[in-house]
Amino acid sequence: MSDGPRPVSPGIETAPAHVAIIMDGNGRWAQMRGLPRQEGHRRGLEALRRTVRNAGDLGIRVLTLYSFSTENWRRPKAEVSFLLGLLRRFVENDLAELHEAGVRVRIIGSRADLAPDLRLLIERAESMTAANHGLTLVVAFNYGSRDELVRVTRALAADVAAGRLSPEAIDEDMLTARLDTGALPEPDLVIRTSGESRISNFLLWQAAYAEFVFTPVLWPDFDRKALEDAVTEYRRRERRFGGVNETAACNVGVA
């Protein structure tokens, strides 16, 4: 993954701590070039590698990538098989270099129905990098936010039924702690590529107060400039988390 030292971008201190990306547009990228969809996915993996490198340069501490959703199983079997193969190759080929670079890898999503060898790969990636303190790379694989919330709800309900938990004790913090993202910070910025303006069942709870940037760039073309442009747009935003900026309120005569 390494391609030599790169300059750290200015304004790194104001970079979003957690950036989440819906990687979209591989198929359209390939179709526009008369290529098979698989080639779009291959180029998308190259874009993923670039983005991991560039995120660290920009001061991003957590990068979450939506790689395969619970709904993606509905795609043609050949395409699903190819995507699963890409994940295997990514772990097998890139894990050592990610580990050397201090990247901590987390995989979120349901593992219940995954093939045993795939579960072992995921566990190896997480265990090998668990003690690293650099960029945290979160890969959302077989992930759907509604599925995640159902799984958490069932677990809480089971605890209540077993007498281990009082219903009154359930609050936002408890639910948040039981999500796949666990102790990770909530995303500051969510980016979706390919010009689509929806979040497709991604981090519904966690992204409640995230800033969203929708870019027309297709994922295989997503490069350092595209990431920098999204971060620049984020820096222009005023984040109030449901409150009111006192200076802005005074300027418009609001008490």
Task: Show which residues are catalytic.
Answer: 24, 72
- Other C-beta atoms closer than 10 Å to the C-beta of 229 total 15
Residue (of 111, 113, 168) closest to 141 by Cα position = 111
Please give the distance of CA 175 from its chain centroid, rounded to a whole number.
19
Question: CB of 94 within 8 A of CB of 1?
Answer: yes
DSSP secondary structure of 24-60: --HHHHHHHTT--HHHHHHHHHHHHHHHHHHHHHTT-
Question: CB of 240 within 8 A of CB of 67?
Answer: no
Residue (of 188, 200, 181, 186) closest to 230 by Cα position = 188
Amino acid, res. 193: T
| Most distant pair of Cα atoms in the chain: their distance | 62
The structure tokens listed for 225 are 């400039």
| Burial environment of residue 9 by CB neighbours within 10 A (0 to 12, 13 to 18, 19 or more) | middle
Number of H helices, E strands in the chain: 8, 6
